[in-house]
């Protein structure tokens, strides 16, 4: 895309009319992140994601998007999680950033930065105590610029695959 007109990019939150585009961007993100995915994994995502977005979008999942040329060209998801209150979460609310992705032709134009600023402002307005994310190498400098800090944990991060 030679003459990208960044002024033509519009920012807002996705709605249910955007589900097909959200699925497309989510799969594009996975391909970009993992390098490849199997046909089974792709088909599984194509089957699960529309129903997931239908149930969660605009509730505990807020999708901040950039639109250009009649489609979504970037997205950043904020998953709002409510936990029992503790000293770090007095109201029990935190957010987790998922799948920040910009189509390759639109990268390097500040779109991710704007999406994340919108996401952070929304999180503050909703009273979230904190926002967590796991950064790729490419995204790390942007998140640092926005004030995210490397997490120092008292506990070991563990997982049980079922």
pLDDT per residue as tens digits for the range 34-57: 999 999 999 999 999 999 999 999
* Structural domain for 45, as ranges: 13-145
**pLDDT, tens digit, 9 for 90 and up, residues 99-127:** 999 999 999 999 999 999 999 999 999 99
Do the domain assignments include residue 18? yes
Do the domain assignments include residue 3? no
Query: Does residue 2 have a pLDDT over 70?
Result: no
The domain that holds 81 is classified in CATH as 3.40.630.30
Can you give the pLDDT at residue 1?
43
Can you give the pLDDT at residue 157?
86
Task: Determine contact, residues 87/42, Cβ cutoff 8 Å.
Answer: no
pTM beyond 0.85: the answer is yes
Q: Report the sign of the C-alpha dihedral through residues 83, 87, 91, 95, in that order.
A: negative
**Structural domain count of the chain:** 1
């Amino acid at each position: 895309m030679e003459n990208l007109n960044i002024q033509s990019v519009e920012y807002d939150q996705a709605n249910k009319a955007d589900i097909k585009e959200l699925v497309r961007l989510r799969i594009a993100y996975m391909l970009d992140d993992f390098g490849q995915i199997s046909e089974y994994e792709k088909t599984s995502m194509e089957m699960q994601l529309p129903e997931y977005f239908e149930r969660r979008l605009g509730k505990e999942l807020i999708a901040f998007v950039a639109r250009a040329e009649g489609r979504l060209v970037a997205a950043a998801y904020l998953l709002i999680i409510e936990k029992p209150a503790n000293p770090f979460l007095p109201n029990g609310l935190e957010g987790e950033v998922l799948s920040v992705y910009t189509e390759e032709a639109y990268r390097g134009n500040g779109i991710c930065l704007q999406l994340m600023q919108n996401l952070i402002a929304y999180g503050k307005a909703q009273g979230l105590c904190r926002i967590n994310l796991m950064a790729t190498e490419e995204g790390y400098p942007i998140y640092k610029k926005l004030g995210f800090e490397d997490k120092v944990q008292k506990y070991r991060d563990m997982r049980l695959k079922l």
